[in-house]
Amino acid sequence: MATPLAQKEYERMYSTLGGKPVHATLAMHWARLVELLYAAEHCLELAMDRDITARNCVHHWSYSG
């Protein structure tokens, strides 16, 4: 995984479930939680990235309908 907390939880999931492949019924839900953690971490990284949140990069849309 590309983010530190998600990677830690990914490794914890597989060590708890006994490695790959995993056939546990609820493993898919655990994997979804790990993916959700990754997405949240990545969103935070993007929100803190000065290259994409700088004032000169923001476009203000207007609708004249």
Cα radius of gyration rounded to whole Å, the chain: 18
Q: Could you count the other beta carbons within 10 Å of the beta carbon of residue 9?
A: 19
Nearest residue to 35 (alpha-carbon basis) of 60, 55, 7, 65: 7
Distance separating alpha carbons of residues 2 and 10, to the nearest angstrom: 11
The whole-model pTM stands at 0.76
Q: Above 80 in pLDDT, residue 61?
A: no
Q: Above 70 in pLDDT, residue 8?
A: yes
Residue 39: what pLDDT? Answer: 97
